[in-house]
Every structure is written in structure tokens, then in C-alpha cells.
Amino acid sequence: MRKAGAVASGTAQVPGQGSEGGARWRRALPLALLLLLALIVLGIIGGRTARAIADAHRRDQLRPGAASSVRPWMSVEYVSANYGVTQDDLLTALHLTATPSHRRAPFEAIALHEGRDLDADITVINALVAERGTPHAAPERPAFPFMPGRTRGATRTPGTAAPPRTPVTAP
């Protein structure tokens, strides 16, 4: 059978060649370019995300030479509650004013905002904790701040009972 538009000599037109094939490429080229653009954008976003995650992990680590259990992400309130040192003692040792931002901000943010040496601040805090507080291993950073009982990696085996809740008493 002959296709419509076949040449009179009896040869059929091969698909993909001639004007029919050119139209197909003209339709596919913009789609291919859009796909390539989407892959480039995805690569850029993926690279930035990976870099942000690596930076976050790096910030949470101890600084070289600082052998301690106090971490840069901790705040004055956190160290006071977990290490048995009063907030006023910590603020005095760090030469900070007793403002809510100094009490709640992480040590890393305070050092960055005020141009302080973070390693020196952590060394001062560790010395204060060793002298007046109860030094112990650093607690795991809470993964879910809105769920105080949950930390990273804190999972239960299926079928086991949940830990008992401690009753909250009014002061």
C-alpha cells in the first residue's frame, strides 16, 4: 500500500525523513531543552542542599582543641538547666548582660553577633561547669523541640510499652 503523498515512482516516504521528521524535531527540541533546564536547576538545588546539611553538621561539632561536653548550639538557659550552674554565673563569666536574647541564644549565635571567640567562650563555660556544676556527657540535641521526650535516634521497638510519663506538678 502506498501512503498518501508517496512519490509516483513507487517508493514510499520513510518516516523521520523529509518534512514530517523536521516537524517532529521542532516539537521535541523545546521539550528537550526544558528537560535539560529542569535537570540543571535540580542539580543546583541539590548541591546547595547538600552543602547546607554539611555546614549544619560542621557547626554542631566541637571546635578543635575544645575537649568538653558543651556544644555551640547550647544556650545559657540550656547549660544552666542541665549542668547545675546558675544563669547569672554563666552570664558573669562570659561578661554578658542579663537580657533574654543572651539567655536564649545559642553560644554560636552570640559569638557571631558580637564578634566573640567561640572556643574561648566554651572553654570558660567548661571551666565554670567543672568548678561549680555537675559535669557529664553532653545530652543529645533534641530533634523535635516541640516534643521534649523525643531525641534523634530515640525509637521504640514495635510492641514495647512507651516509657512512663512524669506527672507535671503546679509550682
Kindly tell me if the per-residue pLDDT of 137 is higher than 60. Answer: no
pTM: 0.43
How does 92-101 read in b/e, with b if 16+ C-beta sit within 10 Å?
A: ebbebeeeee
Amino acid at 143: A
Cell 517532529 sits on residue: 24
Q: What are the domain boundaries of the chain? A: 21-60, 76-132
pLDDT of 64: 44
Residue 91: what residue type?
Answer: L
Q: Kindly report, residue by residue over 11-26, the tens digit of the pLDDT.
A: 555 555 555 667 788 8
* CB-CB contact of 85 with 124 (8 Å): no
